[in-house]
Structure 1
C-alpha cells in the first residue's frame, strides 16, 4: 500500500483493493459497527457488487501491516438501491438534487482501537479529494455520535432525517457537503 499522507502515529492511508481484502475490511466493520456473522455475509456480497460499479474505489488504513480502517465510495447514481431509498426523503425537503453529480461515501469504518486518532478524518478527506464530483453525500445513524460529529466538522449538513432503510432498526440521516471537505 502506497502512503497518500504522512502517517499519524503508525497508521498509513493508501489505496485498498477492497475486493481482495473484503474479509479484512468486514472484520473491521463488524467490530466497529457491532455486526454478527449473518450481517457480515450479506455485506460481503454488497461490497463485492459495489466495487464493480463505475468509479468505485477504496482506501485503507493500515497499522503494522494490519487493516485498521477503510472507506469506499463511488459517483452516485439514482439507479443505485441507496439512492432509490433516500430520494423520497430528500425530495420532501427539496434536497433531491444532491443525488446528482455527487460522490457517495458508502462505508467508513475504523477499528475501535484506532478511533479518535484522526484515522476516519484522513480516510474520508483522502477519498473525497480524489473525487471529480463537486459534492459528497452519505448516510449515518441519526444520533449524536462521534461519526456524526466528524461529518459535521468536515462541512456535512443534514439533508434529510429521519430516513428509514428496510430492515435497519435505527433511523439514519442523509448528509451532504461541498468538496473539497472543510479542513480544521
Structure 2
C-alpha cells in the first residue's frame, strides 16, 4: 500500500503505510500537538483516548513515514458506532439538520494530522483516501473545527459536505462542523 508522496526539495520522500499507532503513539501525539497546537497536558489527556480508540473493532491506522522511518503524519478511524462518545455528542446536531442517518454505515475519520513542515504536499489527501479506500462502509464522516481552513478545503475537495455546524464538544473551546462524504472519496482537486 506504500505510495510515494515525495518530490518537494529539501524534504525527504514520504510514503503512506499501515502502522500500529499504539507502538508509535508518542510520535503520533507529537505530530498532533504540533499540527493542532496542543499543550503537553492536552496531549496527555489524549493518550488514553487514542489507545481506547485503536482497540475498537475495525479500527485502522496509517502513517506518513519518511525514508528514515520518521512519522510525519497519521490517520486513524473506525466503523461508526452510535454508542461511542463522539456519536452521542453529534447526534442531536445531525438530527436537527435531518442528517442523523449519516451515523449509520459510516467510517469515522477519528484523527488526521500532518507535521507542519510536511503540510501542503498532499500527505493529508494521501492518508485519508488510503484509509477510506479500505473501508467496507459506503460513506465517511468526520468533525473539523468550524472555520475556513486548509483542512476544511481538503475535505470539501474530497467530496465531504457539511452535515451540521456549530457543534460543541465538551471542553473544546471552538465549535466544530460534522462533514460526510460518499465513498470512495472524490479524486478531484
- Alignment TM class, shorter chain as reference: over 0.9
Structure 1 CA distance for aligned equivalents of residues 126 and 4 of structure 2:
10
Unmatched 5+ residue regions in structure 2?
Answer: 8-12
Q: CA deviation at 1:16?
A: 1.1
Task: Choose which of 78, 103, 127 in structure 1 pairs with 2:82.
Answer: 78
Contact 2:163–2:177 at 8 Å: present in 1 too? yes
1:105 has 2:109 as partner: yes
Structure 1 residue runs of 4 or more that deviate by more than 2 Å after TM superposition: 6-9
Task: Choose which of 49, 54, 58 in structure 2 pairs with 1:55.
Answer: 58
Aligned residue in 1 for 2:124: 120
Taking structure 1 as the reference length, the TM-score comes to 0.97
Task: Choose which of 18, 41, 45 in structure 2 pairs with 1:42.
Answer: 45
Q: CA deviation at 1:95?
A: 0.2
Larger CA deviation: 78-87 vs 63-72: 63-72
Aligned residue in 2 for 1:31: 34
Aligned pairs, number: 182
Q: CA deviation at 1:8?
A: 2.9
Root-mean-square deviation (CA), in Å? 0.8
Contact 2:79–2:137 at 8 Å: present in 1 too? yes
1:18-62 CA-to-partner distances (Å, cap 9, x unmatched) read 111111000000000000111101111000000110000100001
Q: CA deviation at 1:65?
A: 1.6
Unmatched 5+ residue regions in structure 1?
Answer: none
Aligned residue in 2 for 1:4: 2
1:74-124 CA-to-partner distances (Å, cap 9, x unmatched) read 000000000000000000011000000000000000000000100000000
Contact 2:5–2:122 at 8 Å: present in 1 too? no
Determine helix, strand or coil for the equivalent of 2:3. Answer: coil
Aligned residue in 2 for 1:150: 154
